[in-house]
Chains A and B, each alone.
Chain A
Amino acid sequence: MGIRFILMVNKQGQTRLAQYYEWLTLEERRALEGEIVRKCLARNEQQCSFVEHRNYKIVYRRYASLFFLVGVDNDENELAILEFIHLLVETMDRHFGNVCELDIMFHLEKAHFMLEEMVMSGCIVETSKANILTPVQLLEKTS
């Protein structure tokens, strides 16, 4: 399992999206997110985007008020994950048009759906924006 979880957290530390690729109980999740938020949000722009946590790594990136945090195994390529985060943001940007925190809040299910297009069982399966968005838009039209 390359990617263990993907989190989006705002500046205040509130979770805006949480996708886990291994089962965690609510309590474990709450603890984990608390620890991660404390660790990552305290860091500034001049510091690197990788944090070691427990027995894995967190690769994160900040876009405006939103932090994108991805928990990955230790031998995962950090820079590739940063590119993945960027791809995710670009994809959402293309779909929502200038994406912001509120878009993700109000379209949580859609955001999940997009992520599911990109990642399965912790592997990145799709990296083309067009391929990711086609089904999303198709479904939007039909419903």
Chain B
Amino acid sequence: MSGPSLMDSLFQRTLEDLIKGLRQQLIGEQAFISKALEEIRKEIKSTDLSTKSTALLKLCYLSNLHFHDMSFAAFHALEVLSSPRFSHKKIAYHAISLSFHDSTPVLLLITNHLRKDLTSTNEFEVSLSLQCLSRIANVDLARDLTPEVFTLLSSNKLYVRKRAVAVVLRVFEKYPDSVRVCFKRLVENLENYDPQILSAVVGVFSELACKDPRSYLPLAPEFYKILVDSKSNWISIKVLKIFAKLAPLEPRLANRVVEPICDLMRKTGAKSLLFECVRTVVTSFSEYESAVRLAVGKIREFMVDEDPNLKYLGLHALSIVASKHLWVVSENKEVVIKSLSDPDPNIKIESLRLVMAMVSEHNVAEISKVLVNYALKSDPLFCNEILGSILSTCSRNVYEIIVDFDWYVSLLGEMSRIPHCQMGEEIENQLVDIGLRVKDVRLELVRVARDLLIDPALLGNSFLHRVLSAAAWVSGEYVEFSRNPLELMEALLQPRTSLLPPSIMAIYIQSAFKVLVFCLHTCFVRGGSTAGVSASASYESFDDLSVENGAGSTVAHGQTCTSAPITNESIVNLLKLVELALSPLLGSHDVEVQERARNLLGFVDLIKLEALNSSGQEENDSEQKGVEATKIIRLVHDAFSKELGPVSLSAQGKVPVPDGLTLNENLGDLETICSDIELPSSNTFSFGYPFEEKDVSSFSNLQIKEDSGQSNESTSLLAEHRKRHGLYYLPSGKSEVISNDYPPANDPALQGDNNDTASDLVKLTAESLVPKRKPNHSKPRPVVVKLDEADEKPVAVKHPESRDDSLSGAVRDILFGSEDILPTSSRSNLPSSNRKGKEKQHMITQVESKENVVGDGNSSSRRRKDHSHGKERRHRKKNAEERNETDRKEKESSSNHPRRQKSRQRAEEPLKVPPQTSVIPDFLL
């Protein structure tokens, strides 16, 4: 054995030596520590307990401050624990509470040590072991040591008792059945007048009440007494926390407590207690107006205080009030807005939250504008905080508060140009989402997208790439709204696009494809004399436009929609541009980019012939080929002009499962299938249906041709008619908007005074918080496509933890079940029948669980049967056992419970919910 020699232990380094050495080492900290660890590993194997414990202490130090694993010493710690010397024990407990956890293998070996120390006569040993238990207790430890803890709960040594009270929290949490044993004694401690005990026990109850307040309602009288009598601020704060949880459950209790709390708020000099009163009132007593007014007064004092802590807390409290009483925020808006420029980022964020709480559909434009100006001036972090909250507020509930989408879209564009903006992803999502959902805004959207695309400077900012990808997609998808597709094309193919990541590059190329097809289509199919037969159905807006301008001829028609007319010449240039820009990309390393570039170039090759021919001379022999190219263009164009819709989150669920496909089947044998064949099942899976199911058919080219042929014919006739008799057509609202020169989204009047933003915002919010309609809503809110119920994100149903459940269940059993626990005299008028019943049921199941100790398999079915009989039995047996109930419980739990009890308890759970209203007695009040 490589154990240490006597010399080693004689000259062992103490912890102090280690620390000094660590401070003076010259060989580097890591090297020094690993050397020390080596020593420790040797020393800890020593048979001499002092050597061992010193080694352990050093190890604790290194683990606590230098993150070195000490799990290897778990067993050694147990050895030191068995030492008769207190100082060794102390070190061992220290090590154990630092390093043990639920999966420490030797955890169970500690039970007997703990039991021995818990029953020791030395109060410090008891205290150490309680302390340790509070850190490491798991189910087994909690179960096995419950009797000892129970005894200590009424120890006559205060020092021990308060610790026993505190440890109960962990024991209850790990082993809810211990509630049946210990709860009564815990409640008894509530009546203790010693502040030490009281502060511990109130602390425990405030934690317990957090998890399940309802169970502790019957204890309200005790808490009330403590609240009124308490001299210690620590205790008062904890009791207030309990009442904050209890009051919303029982209005009579709230009625009773609100006055004392207000008294406390007026009288106390301690800021912490004052703040707790304020917080209690604003969270749980918000319907008591006078109390809220008092609290708001205090909040205001907090907010204008010099101390940043108080200021922060004031704002924080205000944001709690804001959810229920918005008037409070508008009353204090000056302070809130001033805090937007506080030096402390945390305070700024709090006030930002409050400003966002004030936003409504009437003032969203103004507030956003001012905030964006703030964002321009702030540091990057806060800037993005502002942008993020604007984005999330505006998009809430499918853009609920947005009326003027043109404005919002241009705001998005403006936000992405802010230098610190890092919200690219969110802006990208919203741009695309709005494009899909709101038809009327697409024109403005394309304009914004164009402005973004065309600016070569933006390509250099990697945070903006996501925004640009949205802009590219939008301008490709809705290119028919573009005023100048050629310009778009140049923007999409500009040399600086090489700065984009490949995934976005691919989107650019795809969009360029769409734009190119659109240009060709305009030029040859609609604009060209040969193919004037069928104006595509999807271009009604253009037809409208031309009607509006009174231009009859198709050539002029082309000119109105594009500032630069698409001529054959420009097409040729365009094709050249495409070839020039994309040829290098054929060698791209990214497959997506390469493939899309190849697609586009292939397409260009196909139609180049016609373009060149028709630009050169209009020969008859080329016409044959030209017609073919036109056909191709029309085909591709129709494929692109199918509108994409937003996809509902539950869309996948709507896809019918094909016959013969069982989704629930285990896929285990898939591996064997894969090994010999190449996934034969792949064609049983359908491609994801986009939104509308009829779209599926359009994947086949043939059908497209037929479809569009038919529909184009009728719509083109209609369009012809409209052109000829334009006068008799009512001007549609849409065209009216289009023909206007779009007013810039931001009112130029507001543009001037950017500097005095704070006062500006105050004024604006002041105006807009008065509920009046904004006069300049010239346009009605456009339709926003919502997918029925699907847009609501599936709310994860929160299942309360079963353990907590069983804990509160146990607590309820005790509190509602056996009234002799309630020490108050005023429990006379309780309707006791159902409580008795519950108690009985509880006893029955306990008896039964004893029966079930052997035989695990059929226990559950038997249990269920028992329950069905339970009711009858319950009525028969009455109060005989009630007397010795507690004794029985004690006995029972000191014998080792089988683990199964927990599951038993869960099974019984649904029966246990107490009928609230009838049980909550009047005595509270």
* Chain A interfacial positions (CB closer than 8 Å to B): 1-2, 14-18, 21, 23, 26, 29-30, 43, 46-52, 75, 77-80, 82-83, 105-106, 108-109, 112-113, 116, 120-128, 131, 135, 138-139, 142-143
Contact = CB atoms under 8 A, between A and B. Distances in A.
B591 interface: no
Given A15-B64, A125-B162, A135-B124, 19 more contacts: A17-B65, A47-B308, A47-B344, A48-B346, A48-B347, A50-B313, A52-B346, A75-B241, A78-B309, A80-B233, A105-B19, A106-B16, A113-B90, A120-B163, A121-B134, A121-B207, A124-B199, A125-B199, A143-B86
B272 A83 contact: yes
A141 B308 CA distance: 44
Interface stretch (B148-156, B164-172, B576-584, B825-833): B164-172
B276 A77 contact: yes
Contacts of A52: 346
A73 to B, nearest CB: 8
A8 B691 CA distance: 57
Contact of B60 (A106, A109, A120, A122): A109
B200 A123 contact: yes
* The 3 residue pairs across chains A and B that have the minimum distance between CB atoms: A79-B272, A123-B203, A120-B166
B61 interface: yes
A113 B169 CA distance: 20
B275 A77 contact: yes
Given A23-B102, A50-B346, A77-B276, A124 B203 contact: yes
B313 A143 contact: no
B94 A109 contact: yes
B272 A77 contact: yes
B210 A127 contact: no
B204 interface: yes
A29, A47, A48: residue with the most chain B Cβ atoms closer than 10 Å: A48
A51 B308 CA distance: 12
B169 A121 contact: yes
Nearest to B283: A75
Nearest to B200: A125
B335 to A, nearest CB: 15
A29 B101 CA distance: 14
B615 interface: no
A2 B199 CA distance: 14
Nearest to A50: B312
A120 B199 contact: no
Nearest to A83: B272
B346 A51 contact: yes
Nearest to A123: B203
A100 B588 CA distance: 62
21 contacts: A14-B65, A15-B65, A16-B65, A26-B63, A48-B309, A50-B312, A77-B237, A78-B275, A79-B272, A79-B309, A79-B313, A105-B19, A108-B60, A108-B64, A109-B57, A120-B131, A120-B134, A122-B169, A125-B163, A126-B199, A131-B196
A58 to B, nearest CB: 11
Contacts of B127: 135
A118 B349 CA distance: 33
A63 to B, nearest CB: 16
B288 interface: no
Nearest to B158: A131
B660 interface: no
A26 B311 CA distance: 36
Given A120-B131, A135-B127, A47 B90 contact: no
Contacts of B204: 123
Contacts of A43: 344
Nearest to A59: B309
Contacts of B308: 46-49
B207 A125 contact: no
Nearest to B57: A109
Contacts of B60: 108-109
Contacts of B16: 106
A30, A51, A80, A138: residue with the most chain B Cβ atoms closer than 10 Å: A80
A18 B64 contact: yes
A82 B271 CA distance: 11
B159 interface: yes
B312 A80 contact: no
A127 B199 contact: yes
B65, B91, B170: residue with the most chain A Cβ atoms closer than 10 Å: B65
A30 B166 contact: no
Contacts of B346: 47-48, 50-52
A43 B345 CA distance: 9
B67 interface: yes
B232 interface: yes
Contacts of A26: 63, 67-69
A121 to B, nearest CB: 5
B343 A46 contact: yes
A49 B90 CA distance: 34
A142 B122 CA distance: 13
Interface in B238-272: 241, 271-272
A128 B200 CA distance: 13
Contacts of A124: 199, 203, 234
A128 B271 CA distance: 19
Contact of B203 (A2, A112, A142): A2
A39 B524 CA distance: 62
Nearest to A18: B64
B768 to A, nearest CB: 29
B199 to A, nearest CB: 6
Contacts of A131: 196
B135 interface: yes
Given A109-B57, A124-B203, A75 B169 contact: no
B169 A123 contact: yes
Given A1-B207, A18-B65, A79-B313, A123 B166 contact: yes
A15 B63 CA distance: 11
A106 B203 contact: no
Contact of B276 (A2, A48, A49, A80): A80
Interface string B312-323: 110000000000
B87 interface: yes
A75, A120, A128: residue with the most chain B Cβ atoms closer than 10 Å: A120
Interface in B86-126: 86-87, 90-91, 94, 101-102, 124
